[in-house]
């Protein structure tokens, strides 16, 4: 863990020096494409198949919840709720993270418990509070029974067909297309100084000065990933709350969840969390792993206090929020897929 914090501090000192003169090097627009793993190259047919699976509620035990049920791509790529609601109304433990630009991360989930997009697919399909499939076999059988899927899998994954691996690969391929380019901040980084307001520019300067930027930097505003210090599977984690015992901590129960430790059982992982992206943060309330904070203003105050031991003035909050709003990108148009039918039988074995 330590070495990642050192990386962060190094980058921060570097950027702080440059802040007055020019845009710090540690801020970069989103690259055109996220990293594509060598064993899962993109193809139009694979992306289309992945999109169908993503929107298909038959991936859940009850046939009621698709990936899109919680990761709503018509909105911020999440559900707008403090806790996700899975099959049979059961609530998930941690607030849904956005899938927009997720492909620029190097680990997944709040605790980094999946090292690839492919791996997190099955985590959620099998999670009893999410899609609640009892085992992978049940889903493989169900998809194999749907001609339209079986034929596509045979064509996209020649000689492999419908397997745990190919399902994950198809969905991950689609998820790698979920990129929001050209936010006002990206345009600003690309040289258009009018792209963000004066208030937002002041907010950006504060963002660096008060050291929000020590964690939220680089292409995804989420630390050194990808292609900068960290490789796929290596996470950038921070302690949260960093300054324990604040009023905010109590009010919002911020320390009630033990974080990455619960997954890794490594003592130093207690209350460590993967740094989330700030891209599109203005449209992904509520905030934090427990979704306890409802507004961006309050989230900014909470972070300044719990992470940086700083009480912000009203103006500082305003400027920072104005800056954060410039991180909302342009959303690609997504055509609703046509899901293959299950002719002559019901989906669910009831």
Interaction between residue 16 and its own copies (CB under 8 A) = no
The binder of its own copies chosen from 2, 265, 267, 344 (CB under 8 A): 344
Nearer to its own copies, 24 or 286 (CB): 286
- Per-residue buried b or exposed e for 42-70, using 16+ beta carbons within 10 Å of the residue's own CB: eeeebbbbbbbbbbbbbbbbbbebbbbbb
* Residue 223 to residue 221: CA distance in whole angstroms: 6
Binding to its own copies in span 250-309, by CB under 8 A: 282-283, 285-286, 291, 294-297
The binder of its own copies chosen from 87, 131, 272, 302 (CB under 8 A): 87
* Residue 203 to residue 200: CA distance in whole angstroms: 5
The binder of its own copies chosen from 26, 73, 132, 272 (CB under 8 A): 73
Interaction between residue 191 and its own copies (CB under 8 A) = no
Q: What count of other Cβ atoms lies within 10 Å of the Cβ of residue 96?
A: 25
Q: Could you write out the DSSP letters of every residue in 57-122?
A: GGGSTTS---HHHHSBTTTTSB-SSSS-B-GGGPBPSSPPPP-TTGGG-SSBSTT--BSSHHHHHH
* Residue 142 to residue 349: CA distance in whole angstroms: 10
Say whether the peptide bond before residue 226 is cis (omega within 30 degrees of 0).
yes
Nearer to its own copies, 199 or 243 (CB): 199
The binder of its own copies chosen from 88, 190, 231, 315 (CB under 8 A): 88
Q: What is the size of the binding site for its own copies (CB under 8 A)?
A: 50
Sole window of 54-62, 182-190, 208-216, 244-252 interacting with its own copies (rule: CB under 8 A): 54-62
Interaction between residue 143 and its own copies (CB under 8 A) = no
Q: What is the DSSP letter of 192?
A: -
CB of 348 to its own copies, least distance (A): 6
CB of 56 to its own copies, least distance (A): 8
The contact set with its own copies (CB under 8 A) reads 52, 55-58, 62-64, 69, 72-76, 79-82, 85, 87-89, 282-283, 285-286, 291, 294-297, 321, 325, 331, 333-339, 341-348, 350
């Amino acid at each position: 863990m330590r070495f990642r914090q050192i990386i962060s501090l190094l980058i921060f000192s570097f950027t702080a020096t440059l802040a007055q003169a020019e845009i710090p090097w540690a801020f970069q627009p989103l690259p055109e494409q996220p990293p594509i793993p060598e064993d899962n190259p993109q193809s139009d047919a694979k992306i289309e198949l992945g999109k169908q699976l993503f929107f298909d509620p038959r991936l859940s035990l009850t046939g009621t919840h698709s990936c899109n049920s919680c990761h709503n791509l018509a909105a911020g790529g999440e559900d707008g709720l403090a806790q996700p609601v899975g099959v049979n109304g059961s609530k998930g433990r941690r607030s849904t993270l956005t899938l927009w630009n997720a492909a620029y991360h190097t680990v997944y989930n709040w605790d980094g418990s999946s090292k690839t997009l492919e791996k997190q697919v099955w985590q959620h399909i099998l999670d009893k509070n999410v899609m609640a499939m009892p085992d992978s076999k049940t889903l493989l059988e169900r998809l194999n029974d749907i001609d339209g899927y079986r034929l596509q899998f045979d064509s996209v994954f020649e000689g492999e067909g419908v397997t745990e691996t190919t399902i994950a690969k198809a969905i991950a391929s689609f998820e790698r297309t979920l990129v929001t380019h050209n936010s006002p901040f990206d345009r600003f980084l690309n040289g258009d100084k009018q792209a963000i307001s004066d208030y937002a520019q002041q907010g950006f300067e504060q963002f660096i000065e008060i050291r929000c930027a020590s964690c939220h930097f680089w292409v995804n505003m989420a630390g050194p990933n990808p292609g900068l210090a960290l490789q796929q599977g290596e996470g950038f984690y921070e302690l949260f709350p960093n300054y324990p015992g604040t009023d905010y901590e109590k009010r919002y129960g911020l320390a009630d969840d033990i974080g990455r430790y619960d997954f890794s059982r490594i003592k130093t992982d207690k209350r460590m969390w993967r740094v989330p992206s700030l891209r599109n943060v203005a449209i992904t309330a509520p905030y934090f792993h427990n979704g306890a904070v409802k507004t961006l203003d309050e989230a900014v105050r909470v972070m300044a206090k719990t992470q940086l031991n700083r009480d912000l003035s009203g103006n500082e909050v305003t400027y920072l929020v104005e800056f954060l709003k410039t991180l909302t990108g342009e959303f690609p148009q997504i055509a609703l897929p046509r899901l293959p039918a299950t002719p002559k039988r019901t989906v669910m074995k009831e």
